[in-house]
């Protein structure tokens, strides 16, 4: 543990380095990493194409799962399996793309007994976010009897897991993707119908034909605006991303004439009891049935940068894991 490998981003780019534990940000617990995962936010951080990292140099990686090897807090013992997602990891605190990670104890969750470290990171922030979307929508009245849920950005990590999770919860799922070659995979994940973005007609009216009981949107921009106009009365839209743009050009009419609710999902700043509740549901009734289909590959530290470039170029579907020896 005296020296270990990490991917660290400097102002002039990312590179593999050998570090000592004293070079990591402070925290009560040291984790020996087993797995991490590559998220859209990680790709922006590693490539420098998004303002994710709050300072340089810094280790990116917003997720990590592994084993406690040092603990300064009696809530977690040496040898215990733990995970961290969000909380500022890999944004303002050295993150999960390292063989050892040091974090504040309040960020950690014990890995449920029904999940392996690999499964925890196959889910990661993507699965956690998709489940938070489901929880927020159900807390606001959504249920399977109301009709189909549209999942936008369906071929990505969050979208793929959302299809699996919502379908397992009993919802009829329509997957929306720009990748025609992914249609059969999305059906295997649980989509009842697959729509291609090239076939959409956005329309120009403040309210279009109501089609969906609710939606999960990881794209934003014109797609999210279209969803506000096409969700049924009293439907819920969970907004979880902005890969297609951060602007939202819509009117108040869907909200005051149809009672549509736009629910923001922030997986970084999440109350600890809700964080635990979501992971407990992911271990049990919401555990995806097709994690092996969602995970499209594994890389080591040396393969992260190339994968991040491919992800931003829309050449990656599903989840890519980072495996530590």
Give the three-state DSSP class for 153: coil
The reported pLDDT for the residue numbered 314 is 87
Q: Is the pLDDT of residue 2 over 80?
A: no
In sequence order, what DSSP letters do the residues of 15-70 get, joined into one string?
Answer: EEEEEEGGGSPP-SEEEEEEEEEE-HHHHHHHHTSS---SSSSB---SEEEEEEEE
Q: What's the pLDDT band for 13 if we cut at 50, 70, 90? A: very high
Q: Is the pLDDT of residue 46 over 80?
A: yes
The mean pLDDT value of the chain amounts to 96
- Distance, in Å, from the CA atom of 271 to the CA atom of 248, rounded to the nearest integer, reads 27
**125: Cβ–Cβ under 8 A, 6 or more apart, which residues?**
37, 39, 41, 62, 63, 85, 86, 267
CB 52 within 8 A of CB 44: yes
CB 286 within 8 A of CB 134: yes
Give the three-state DSSP class for 98: strand
Is residue 307 within a helix (H) or strand (E), and if so which, with residue range?
Answer: helix 304-312
- Identify the structural domains of the chain with CATH numbers, from first to last: 3-111+290-323 (3.90.180.10), 126-264 (3.40.50.720)
Q: Is the pLDDT of residue 317 over 90?
A: no
- Distance, in Å, from the CA atom of 101 to the CA atom of 93, rounded to the nearest integer, reads 10
The reported pLDDT for the residue numbered 243 is 84
- Distance, in Å, from the CA atom of 159 to the CA atom of 271, rounded to the nearest integer, reads 23
> How many residues in the chain?
325
Q: Is 67 left (phi over 0), alpha (psi -120 to 50) or beta?
A: beta
Q: What's the pLDDT band for 100 if we cut at 50, 70, 90? A: very high
**Average pLDDT over every residue of 174-193:** 96
Strands 3-10, 149-152: pairing is unpaired
Q: Is 252 left (phi over 0), alpha (psi -120 to 50) or beta?
A: alpha
CB 63 within 8 A of CB 45: no
The reported pLDDT for the residue numbered 161 is 96
Q: What's the pLDDT band for 1 if we cut at 50, 70, 90? A: low
Q: What is the per-residue pLDDT across 262-311, written as a single tens digit (0 to 9) for each?
A: 999 999 999 999 999 999 999 999 999 999 999 989 999 999 999 999 99
**Average pLDDT over every residue of 210-215:** 97
**Average pLDDT over every residue of 102-117:** 97
CB 24 within 8 A of CB 101: yes
Q: What is the per-residue pLDDT across 189-210, written as a single tens digit (0 to 9) for each?
A: 999 999 999 999 899 999 999 9
**Average pLDDT over every residue of 105-110:** 97
Look at the block and give the residue holding tokens 């009842």.
192
The reported pLDDT for the residue numbered 325 is 79
Q: Is 131 left (phi over 0), alpha (psi -120 to 50) or beta?
A: alpha
Structure letter (DSSP) for residue 193:
E
């Amino acid at each position: 543990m005296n020296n270990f490998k990490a991917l660290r981003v400097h102002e002039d780019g990312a590179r593999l380095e050998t570090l000592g534990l004293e070079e990591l940000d402070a925290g009560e617990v040291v984790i020996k990493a087993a797995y991490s995962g590559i998220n859209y936010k990680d790709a922006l951080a590693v490539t420098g194409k998004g303002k994710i990292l709050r300072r340089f140099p810094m280790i990116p990686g917003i997720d990590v799962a592994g084993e406690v090897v040092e603990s300064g807090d009696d809530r977690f013992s040496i040898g215990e399996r733990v995970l961290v997602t969000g909380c500022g990891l890999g944004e303002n605190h050295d993150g999960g793309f390292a063989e050892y990670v040091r974090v504040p104890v309040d960020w950690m969750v014990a890995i449920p007994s029904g999940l392996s470290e690999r499964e925890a990171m196959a889910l990661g922030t993507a699965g956690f976010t998709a489940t938070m979307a489901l929880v927020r929508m159900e807390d606001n009245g959504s249920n399977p009897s109301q009709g189909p849920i549209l999942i936008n950005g369906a071929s990505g990590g969050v979208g793929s897991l959302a299809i699996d999770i919502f379908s397992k919860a009993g919802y009829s799922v329509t997957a929306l993707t720009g990748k025609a070659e992914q249609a059969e995979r999305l059906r295997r994940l649980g989509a009842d119908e697959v729509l291609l973005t090239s076939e959409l007609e956005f329309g120009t009216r403040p309210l279009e034909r109501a089609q969906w009981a609710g939606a999960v949107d990881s794209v934003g921009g014109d797609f999210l605006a279209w969803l506000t106009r096409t969700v049924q009365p009293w439907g819920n839209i969970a907004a979880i991303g902005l890969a297609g743009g951060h602007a939202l050009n819509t009117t108040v009419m869907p909200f005051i004439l149809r009672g549509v609710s736009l629910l923001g999902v922030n997986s970084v700043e999440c109350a600890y009891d809700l964080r635990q509740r979501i992971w407990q549901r992911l271990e049990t009734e919401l555990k995806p049935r097709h994690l092996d289909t969602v995970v499209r590959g594994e890389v080591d530290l040396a393969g992260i940068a190339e994968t991040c470039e491919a992800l931003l170029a829309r050449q990656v579907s599903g989840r890519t894991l980072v495996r530590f020896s």
